[in-house]
A and B are shown apart, each in its own frame.
Chain A
Amino acid sequence: MEKVQGDEWLYRRVRNLPENFRDERDGQGRKLPSSQAFSDRSKKISVDRAHFCENNPRYTLLDQTDVVVELLTDEVRAIHDVPCHNGQDAYRAIDVVPDPIYEHSTLPDNPAHALICATPEFAAKDEKHFKKLKQYLARLARWAYFPQ
């Protein structure tokens, strides 16, 4: 499987619900994503590789009202300080790995799919560390697509 390159952009689909966006707006009048825009129950954050989407964030939409924010792979991999639960000086490696979807029971085929994941993985007792990662990703995220 082709490794995700550092200069690849990653699209994150976000449902256009008030729960996912802050009330403040950016210079273009778009609401800023909340940390909950990066909630993923598996603790592996689902994204699409822009390179496989012809750099068109609309590729990532499941619903026409969805919003898409983007992250740069290098910036995600540069997160070196998410702690492990059992070590004061031990940190997780955050990576972006390809995870193409084919013949899934509910999802359409998606060769662009990738995951932002941690090594070691987040366990139940690491909940607060995953929350901090979400918080940080919300800071890094930029707008890619906002429905009219």
Chain B
Amino acid sequence: MSTFTLDKQAIDRWASGGRVKVTRVPDHVVLKITHNRQKQFLSMAGLRLLTQGIAAGRNKQATLLARTLGSIVALRRLGENWNGHDAAAPMPTALLKAVSWTQMMSDEVWNRGWVWHEPHISASEEGEVVLEWWQAPKSLTVYVSPEGMDYIQDNGMGGPAEMGDGSANTTNERLAMWQWMFGED
């Protein structure tokens, strides 16, 4: 038996046909391959394809992330009263925080083998950076200010009192928020 420890999402994608036994442990998966039965799937060519798959996944994440970061940086063009209703210009510190927070969050999501979803980028009337995700009927809105990150969870059904809220300053808080929105496990 050969044992390889590889990226969970890439393995899941590759082994989606169920031909390979995948054992899940907390931070990764162990791919167990019996030579007699599975060697056709573990040819060097197969392994190379798997590696390329991982690289492609990383590239896709990098592309999505670059687009998001570009949208955050583009908020610099907005001045005072940018929305015609007296909104403050986005705060430079909030922009910097939003860039680092988004990079951190996408890494945390990716490292668990989850899928990163591109947020809509905006700014609030107070100059916070706003990241919004929608997945009908739910939506998740994160407000990034110099003081920290807060979120609003909307299940799309009740009124304002039914909406959840909290802070997204730690990995655990961010992952719990992400799980609520996208149902990852």
Residues of A within 8 A of B (CB): 13-15, 17-20, 22-24, 34-36, 39-42, 45-46, 62-63, 66, 79-83, 91, 127-129, 131-133, 135-136, 139
Contacts and interface: CB of A to CB of B under 8 A. Distances in A.
Contacts of B78: 19
Contacts of A131: 124, 141, 143, 152
Nearest to B157: A139
B75 interface: yes
Interface of B: 71, 75, 78, 82-88, 120-126, 130, 132, 134, 139, 141, 143, 150, 152, 154, 156, 158-163, 165
Q: Is the interface of A mostly helix, strand, loop or mixed?
A: mixed
A134 B84 CA distance: 16
A83 to B, nearest CB: 6
Contacts of A22: 120, 132, 134
A62 B84 contact: yes
A135 B141 contact: yes
A127 B84 CA distance: 20
Contacts of A18: 71
B122 A135 contact: no
A18 B71 CA distance: 10
B173 to A, nearest CB: 15
B79 to A, nearest CB: 12
Contact of A34 (B85, B132, B156): B132
A36 B82 contact: no
A129 B160 contact: yes
B87 A128 contact: no
B143 A15 contact: no
A62 B84 CA distance: 9
B160 A136 contact: yes
B160 A39 contact: no
A135 B152 contact: yes
A132 B161 CA distance: 8
A18 B87 CA distance: 15
Nearest to B118: A23
B125 A128 contact: no
A66 B161 CA distance: 31
B86 A82 contact: no
Contact of B82 (A15, A66, A139): A15
A128 B150 contact: yes
16 contacts: A13-B84, A15-B83, A17-B83, A34-B122, A35-B130, A35-B132, A36-B130, A39-B125, A41-B125, A66-B84, A81-B159, A81-B160, A82-B159, A131-B143, A132-B163, A139-B154
Nearest to A132: B160
Contacts of B88: 41
